[in-house]
Amino acid sequence: MHGALEDITKTVGNTPIVRLNKVTKGLPPGVEIYVKCEYLNPGGSHKDRLAWNLLRRAEEAGLQPGGTIVEATSGNTGASLALLAAIRGYKCVFVMPDKMSQEKVTNLRAFGAKVVMCPTAVDADDPRSYYKVSRRIADETPNSFYANQYHNPANPEAHYLWTGPEIWKQTKGDFDAFVAGLGTGGTVSGTGKFLKEKKPEIQIVGVDPVGSLYYDFVKTGRITKPFSYKVEGIGEDFFPTTMNLKILDDIVRVDDKECFLMTRAMTREEGLFVGGSGGAAVAGAIKWAKTAGPRLLAAKKGQGSVKILVFLCDGGQKYVSKIFNDDWMRENGFLDDEPGIGTVADILHLRNKRKIVTTTSTAKVKDVIATLKQLGISQLPVVDKGKLKGIISEVDLLRHMVSGPKTAGSSIAALLESDYATVTPDTKIELLQGVLADARAAIVTEGDAVVGIVTKIDLIDYLAKKSAEVPVVKPKVSKKKPVKKANGARERRA
């Protein structure tokens, strides 16, 4: 028929770029944010581009229709592969972590795919993890292809060959920064590589959720303790080989609450029905723009505005039972009318705003021991030139004194540990318990600055004080009626 496309896969790509007009209020004048609406792809996300390239490469290597595609996927890659598989005649088996929304599972099954669920709260190299289970299924299924998006070079290649050139053609290179959430790294590594080749001064900025490994690694070179978070599709607890962190000019960290509130604002104020990682990317871009925007603007010397392009991966439909459900948002403390048991800032406040004590990596073992003794604490964050370098604790010092070269005069540089997680003042206390079960301490950072350290005993102390608090109830001013007390008992006022 005239005007018809050969099949639905021909609608992948050419996604629109749209300016944000409302959620960006408060940005410095002259700083603009635009979004690339990848969620309008037929498979529902940017992973349609990846699926095309993965299958193209697999077919070049001999894969024949009728075979089985196996993948570890949090949903979107599965949806895109399932769509392509339906058209090209492949079977699909997808392995997912169990934190994923029910909508994503249902979506995959709708295309006839088999879905296997695995526990989220296990290490990536645990045999029960979704990475390991998917590999095993691929090994055991004859005539199968393991898509392996975390380690398949066809992933960043898809964005190098397609997303990057498409953005360049659409914008004619008229923008200053590209901001994207970091998952497998395919988007940022492939698109970033292409854009940098065309215009090296374009800033490539990654957005990472609090709890993921990437942020600390980029900022400090340390592999800290990852912990769980709710936003789907971004952040990792291991390093995929598809990720090229060197392509990044900067990295921004966002927490679940800011991601989800921005996701809802994007829908309600901009009419962009995006998923949580889209909200994360825009929240991160706005944060970044507040500090980097004026710098970029000054460098332009009046030659036009600063334009930031943000990549929106998937749509909101898959999250209606979570991000767009007030009960779920409230239960998780993401709505402001449900404060929960507090945030890390409350713990720091309770400790009488005691100034954070840090040391440097050139400090001597004996001096650090003296500081720990004097302050009655067990560890210190190590900060060089304002940047967090690691943690030094009494256990490391003890090990050094017992089995290392017995020189109390040597520096602590070789003794630094990564056995900590980094959190922000806004991190919820509900999360800290899990963080501290695994890590020696939680170091509190605001941007690059270290503003506090929280250990198990601080958390216990806070919770004990909190549970001892008598709730303050404002009595109703009435002479006749009984007043309801906090515990439900009633008394008569005189």
- Known catalytic residues? 47
Task: Give whichever of 145 and 214 is closer to ligand PLP, judged by the CB atom.
Answer: 214
Q: Smallest distance from the beta carbon of 187 to ligand PLP, in angstroms?
A: 3
CA angle, corner 13, sides to 185 and 138, nearest 5? 50
Element (H, E) at 144: strand 144-146
Q: Smallest distance from the beta carbon of 74 to ligand PLP, in angstroms?
A: 5
- Using the contact rule CB under 6 A, the part of the chain among 8-16, 180-188, 344-352, 431-439 near ligand PLP is 180-188
Task: Determine contact, residues 118/128, Cβ cutoff 8 Å.
Answer: yes
- Using the contact rule CB under 6 A, the part of the chain among 175-183, 348-356, 380-388, 464-472 near ligand PLP is 175-183
When computed from its CA atoms, the radius of gyration of the chain, rounded to whole angstroms, is 25
Task: Determine contact, residues 264/330, Cβ cutoff 8 Å.
Answer: no
- Using the contact rule CB under 6 A, the part of the chain among 161-169, 184-192, 390-398, 407-415 near ligand PLP is 184-192
One of 76, 107, 144, 224 touching ligand PLP (CB under 6 A)? 76
Q: Smallest distance from the beta carbon of 488 to ligand PLP, in angstroms?
A: 45
Element (H, E) at 353: none
179 touching ligand PLP, by CB under 6 A: no
Between 41 and 60, how does the x/- string for binding to ligand PLP read (CB under 6 A)?
----x---------------
Task: Determine contact, residues 289/31, Cβ cutoff 8 Å.
Answer: yes
Record the tokens describing residue 345, joined without a space: 């800032």
List the one residue out of 456, 493, 487, 483 whose CA is nearest residue 470.
Answer: 487
Task: Give whichever of 45 and 343 is closer to ligand PLP, judged by the CB atom.
Answer: 45
Task: Give whichever of 135 and 364 is closer to ligand PLP, judged by the CB atom.
Answer: 135
Between 294 and 333, how does the x/- string for binding to ligand PLP read (CB under 6 A)?
-------------------xx-------------------
CA angle, corner 247, sides to 243 and 250, nearest 5? 105
The string of DSSP letters for 461-488 reads HHHHHHHHPPPP-PPP--SSSPEEPTTS
What residue is closest to ligand PLP based on CB?
233
185 touching ligand PLP, by CB under 6 A: yes
One of 97, 186, 192, 390 touching ligand PLP (CB under 6 A)? 186
Q: How far is CA 46 from CA 22, 158, 162, 418, in A?
A: 25, 10, 11, 34
Provide, for the chain, the percentages of residues in helix, strand and coil under a 3-state DSSP scheme, each rounded to the nearest 5: 40, 20, 40
Contacts to ligand PLP from residues 213-232, by CB under 6 A: 232
Task: Give whichever of 278 and 293 is closer to ligand PLP, judged by the CB atom.
Answer: 278
Task: Give whichever of 261 and 382 is closer to ligand PLP, judged by the CB atom.
Answer: 261
- Using the contact rule CB under 6 A, the part of the chain among 178-186, 319-327, 342-350, 472-480 near ligand PLP is 178-186
Per the document, the length of the chain is 494
Task: Give whichever of 32 and 232 is closer to ligand PLP, judged by the CB atom.
Answer: 232
Record the tokens describing residue 381, joined without a space: 């964050």
Question: Which residues, 6+ apart, have CB-to-CB distance to 73 below 8 Å?
Answer: 81, 94, 95, 96, 147, 149
List the one residue out of 387, 402, 342 whose CA is nearest residue 218.
Answer: 387
Task: Give whichever of 236 and 396 is closer to ligand PLP, judged by the CB atom.
Answer: 236
- Cβ neighbour number for residue 271 with a 10 Å cutoff: 9
One of 24, 74, 263, 379 touching ligand PLP (CB under 6 A)? 74
Q: Smallest distance from the beta carbon of 36 to ligand PLP, in angstroms?
A: 12
96 touching ligand PLP, by CB under 6 A: no
Q: CA-to-CA distance for 294 and 18, rounded, in angstroms?
A: 22
Contacts to ligand PLP from residues 263-292, by CB under 6 A: 275, 277
List the one residue out of 177, 194, 187, 243 whose CA is nearest residue 214.
Answer: 243
List the one residue out of 293, 270, 275 whose CA is nearest residue 21.
Answer: 270
Could you give phi then psi for residue 336, rounded to 5 degrees? -65, -20
Task: Give whichever of 275 and 342 is closer to ligand PLP, judged by the CB atom.
Answer: 275
Amino acid at 220: T
One of 31, 234, 289, 308 touching ligand PLP (CB under 6 A)? 234
Contacts to ligand PLP from residues 326-355, by CB under 6 A: none
One of 78, 181, 211, 381 touching ligand PLP (CB under 6 A)? 181
Task: Note the residues at the interface with ligand PLP (CB under 6 A).
Answer: 45, 74, 76, 181-187, 232-234, 275, 277, 313-314
